[in-house]
Amino acid sequence: MSKATGPVYNVPFRRRKKCLTNYSRRLALLKSRLPRMIIRKSNRGLVVQIVNFTECDKTEASAYSKELEKHGWFPQSNLPTAYLTGFLCAKRAIKKKITKAVLDTGLMNPTKASVPFAALKGAVDAGLEIPHSESMFDNDRFSGKHIAEYANKIKGTEAYSKQFSAYAKKGIAPENMVTIFESVKSKLQKE
């Protein structure tokens, strides 16, 4: 019988154990030596950041969906908000001479026309060069057309007042989502 020489198992990293970081995906993104465009979604809003790695992560530019209120957009955690937040973050990154980045979705599953791709489309439209496939975009959904169509469909019902109560508190008609989106986008382009 031989003597034990130490543990026969590997202890995973703390952030990996808590399902907070996928280290193999992070390493692949860091090897590109480009800044990462990080998108994080919560129930109340979105955060889009351009982060550069030298010895540690350094945030070069960031935008929070809450900041869109001063431009006339009252954010929800939806696709048009993600597009506008990505657009705003890219404008700030370009002012700091950052022209290229890679998309870092973190632990979010990349699904066609989802929040990460709405933010990516906003950043690309603002002028940031990020490798992507056009097949992952749906411009009608990113502008809120689907929300406006649904609001028109259920207008006058009890479901309408429940579904769009947050918009009603702000005095916004969700049927006008596309026109509001376009006006906010034009304000952001001038910034």
Beta bridge partners of 51: 36, 59
Residue at 43 is within a domain: yes
Instruction: Quote the pLDDT of residue 10.
Output: 80
CATH number at residue 130: 3.30.420.100
Residue at 8 is within a domain: no
Q: What is the DSSP letter of 50?
A: E
Residue at 112 is within a domain: yes
Residue at 9 is within a domain: no
Residue at 72 is within a domain: yes
Residue at 61 is within a domain: yes
Give the residues of the chain that fall short of pLDDT 50: none
Instruction: Quote the pLDDT of residue 23.
Output: 82
* 128 class by beta-carbon count within 10 Å (0-12 exposed, 13-18 middle, 19+ buried): buried
How many angstroms separate the CA atoms of 98 and 34, rounded? 10
Residue at 7 is within a domain: no
What is the span of the domain harbouring residue 126?
16-190
Are the C-beta atoms of 108 and 144 separated by less than 8 Å? no
Q: Three-state SS across 107-119?
A: CCCCCCCCHHHHH
Closest CA to 59 of 86, 75, 37, 85: 37
pLDDT digits (tens, 9 = 90+) for 50-90: 999 988 899 999 999 999 999 999 878 899 999 999 999 99
Instruction: Quote the pLDDT of residue 1.
Output: 61
In terms of pTM, does the model score above 0.85? yes
Instruction: Quote the pLDDT of residue 9.
Output: 79
Q: What is the DSSP letter of 96?
A: T
SS3 assignment, position 169: helix
Are the C-beta atoms of 43 and 31 separated by less than 8 Å? no
Instruction: Quote the pLDDT of residue 160.
Output: 92
Instruction: Quote the pLDDT of residue 108.
Output: 81
Residue at 146 is within a domain: yes
**What's the number of domains the chain is made of?**
1
